[in-house]
Amino acid sequence: GAGVSQSPRYKVAKRGQDVALRCDPISGHVSLFWYQQALGQGPEFLTYFQNEAQLDKSGLPSDRFFAERPEGSVSTLKIQRTQQEDSAVYLCASSSQRDRVSNYGYTFGSGTRLTVV
Amino acid sequence: SQQGEEDPQALSIQEGENATMNCSYKTSINNLQWYRQNSGRGLVHLILIRSNEREKHSGRLRVTLDTSKKSSSLLITASRAADTASYFCAIRSGGGADGLTFGKGTHLIIQP
């Protein structure tokens, strides 16, 4: 597609429920990132994939968070047993650059706004 | 943790005026990037400046980088109502970390 697509756009989950957030990166983009953005804050890094390999998951806040990209294209961020502090916008970004230190900007999706009630 | 810090947190100016936002950071960087975010939307990449560059232009945008002071500024000239958005600086550190580290942003309001 022309841009990074995320779905759903909005998700309301009851506390304790599992959720799955989807990211369709730009076709052919090697690098894929997940970020979490709390209200009024800047995005915070969660995890990074290069193709299907998850090379960095240091930003995942707990073992309830899990991300995968099994075929090196679409990625899913799963949150188990959601809690109220998980409420945030989850942003996905992709980049065509393969190098770990990219000198190009990322293309972001519009995000999924998760509200845990 | 958020390393970049934008200043001011909020800025309101008249259409046609110039807007200047600043960013400070703490560690060595490979590059520094500026992004714009409209309400309820994703981030849009504006400009990237490498650690060995001091100034860069793109249309009405001018970015400076002072690595000795660990700071950067974004200047938007001849502002328009459509420039109303939040602006974030993002650090690509030199330590090999894979992700960008964003600041909390400057909320810019352009009054017509």
Q: Is A102 on the interface with B (CB under 8 A)?
A: yes
- By CA distance, what is A47's nearest residue in B? B99
Tracing tokens 């352009």 back to the chain, one arrives at B110
Report how far residue B54's alpha carbon sits from residue B12's, in angstroms, rounded to the nearest whole number. 27
DSSP A80: S
Burial of A106 (0-12, 13-18, 19+ CB in 10 A): buried
* pLDDT tens per residue across span A55-78: 999 999 999 999 999 999 999 999
* pLDDT tens per residue across span B76-107: 999 999 999 999 999 988 655 567 889 999 99
Q: Is A103 on the interface with B (CB under 8 A)?
A: yes
- The amino acid at residue B71 is S
Report how far residue B36's alpha carbon sits from residue B26's, in angstroms, rounded to the nearest whole number. 22
- By CA distance, what is A56's nearest residue in B? B98
**Shortest Cα distance, chain B CAs vs residue A51, angstroms:** 14
Whether residue A4 has pLDDT greater than 50: yes
- By CA distance, what is A88's nearest residue in B? B40
Q: Which of A33, A35, A100 sits opposite B96 (nearest CB)?
A: A100
Q: Which of B46, B48, B99 sits opposite A103 (nearest CB)?
A: B48
Q: Which residues of chain A are within 8 Å of residue B96 when distances are taken between CB atoms?
A: 100-101
CB contact under 8 A, B48 and A111: no
Structure tokens at A107: 């293309």
* B26: Cα within 13 Å, side-chain hemisphere: 8
**Shortest Cα distance, chain B CAs vs residue A112, angstroms:** 10
* pLDDT tens per residue across span B12-44: 999 999 999 999 999 888 899 999 999 888 899
Sign of torsion, CA A110 B29 B50 B98?
negative
Per DSSP, the residues of A10-48 read EEEE-TT--EEEEEE--TT--EEEEEEE-TTS--EEEEE
Which residue from A68, A42, A89 is spatially nearest to B1, judged by alpha carbons? A42
**Shortest Cα distance, chain A CAs vs residue B108, angstroms:** 13
Confidence of residue B1 (pLDDT cuts 50, 70, 90): very low
